[in-house]
């Protein structure tokens, strides 16, 4: 399954841990070592949340394969939708680097250092040092993640030394109107490559998938 929505599905996927269209270039949430930022999630993780907004939609977990050693080169797992998936085949053949990985994608309003606010996509894996497990837990405990801000802090640098903490702030007194913001279409933010093109994509030099059927001359970049 390439995308998992809803807490039941997310928790099931987390427990099991097994694991076309055009693309939108999103602004991704980033912190440096020692930095912190206030973040308001503009989407819920579950449609049953009292604060679920159908227009805003849900944040989701994507099941992705990454090229070993190059996290920029990645695409959604297609085994469930298309019955075949290059990453799954490589992993089955012993290429551990192609292990399916879960990654959270969710729109958030981020307060920048100068006090201005900007919609960004928060995307993190499921590791214990990431924000994702705490966010899933908060969604279950509070029944909502969009009705308060969270303070996110990064400590450390590098892939293995970096960890994030997430401190919930006070609950909103009045419901926050997320519809005043334009959100990124997350399904167009994730890399989707049809299974019959994945081998070429992972073997190629570019990290950006090119739309199916696009000629090389006027390649439509996702």
3: how many CB neighbours lie within 10 A of its CB?
A: 19
**Residue 159 Cβ, how far from Zn ion at the closest point, in Å?**
22
**Residue 84 Cβ, how far from Zn ion at the closest point, in Å?**
9
Task: Give CA–CA dist 80/139, Å, rounded.
Answer: 27
Q: Does 139 bind Zn ion (CB under 5 A)?
A: no
Q: Does 77 bind Zn ion (CB under 5 A)?
A: yes
Residue pair 105/138 in contact by the 8 Å Cβ criterion: no
Q: Which of 67, 76, 85, 131 binds Zn ion (CB under 5 A)?
A: 85
Task: Give CA–CA dist 222/219, Å, rounded.
Answer: 9
Q: Does 88 bind Zn ion (CB under 5 A)?
A: yes
Q: Does 79 bind Zn ion (CB under 5 A)?
A: yes
**Residue 82 Cβ, how far from Zn ion at the closest point, in Å?**
9
Judged by CB, which is closer to Zn ion: 71, or 176? 71
Q: Does 87 bind Zn ion (CB under 5 A)?
A: yes
Distances from the Cα of 27 to the Cαs of 43, 162, 171, 183, in angstroms?
16, 21, 26, 11
Residue pair 147/173 in contact by the 8 Å Cβ criterion: no
Is beta strand 70-76 parallel, antiparallel or unpaired with respect to 101-111? unpaired
Q: Does 135 bind Zn ion (CB under 5 A)?
A: no
Judged by CB, which is closer to Zn ion: 53, or 66? 66
Task: Give CA–CA dist 74/90, Å, rounded.
Answer: 13
Structure tokens belonging to residue 66: 């990454």
Choose the stretch contacting Zn ion; rule: CB under 5 A; options: 20-28, 39-47, 82-90, 203-211: 82-90
Judged by CB, which is closer to Zn ion: 99, or 181? 99
Residues that bind Zn ion (CB under 5 A): 77, 79, 85, 87-88
């Amino acid at each position: 399954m390439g995308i998992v929505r809803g807490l039941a599905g997310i928790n099931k996927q987390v427990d099991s841990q097994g694991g076309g269209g055009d693309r939108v270039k999103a602004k991704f949430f980033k912190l440096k070592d020692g930095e912190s930022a206030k973040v308001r999630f503009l989407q819920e993780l579950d449609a049953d949340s009292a604060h679920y907004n159908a227009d805003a939609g849900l944040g989701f977990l994507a099941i992705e394969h990454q090229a070993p050693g190059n996290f920029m080169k990645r695409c959604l797992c297609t085994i469930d939708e298309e019955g075949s998936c290059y990453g799954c085949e490589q992993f089955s053949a012993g290429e551990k680097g192609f292990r399916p990985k879960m990654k959270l994608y969710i729109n958030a309003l981020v307060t920048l250092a100068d006090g201005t606010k900007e919609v960004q996509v928060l995307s993190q894996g499921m590791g214990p040092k990431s924000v994702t497990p705490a966010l899933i837990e908060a969604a279950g405990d509070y029944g909502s993640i969009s009705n308060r801000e969270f303070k996110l802090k990064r400590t450390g640098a590098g892939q293995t030394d970096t960890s994030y903490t997430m401190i919930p702030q006070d609950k909103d007194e009045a419901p926050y109107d997320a519809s005043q913001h334009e959100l990124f279409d997350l399904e167009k933010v994730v890399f989707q490559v049809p299974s019959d093109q994945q081998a070429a994509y992972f073997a190629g030099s570019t990290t950006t998938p090119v739309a199916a059927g696009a000629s090389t001359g006027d390649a439509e970049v996702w």
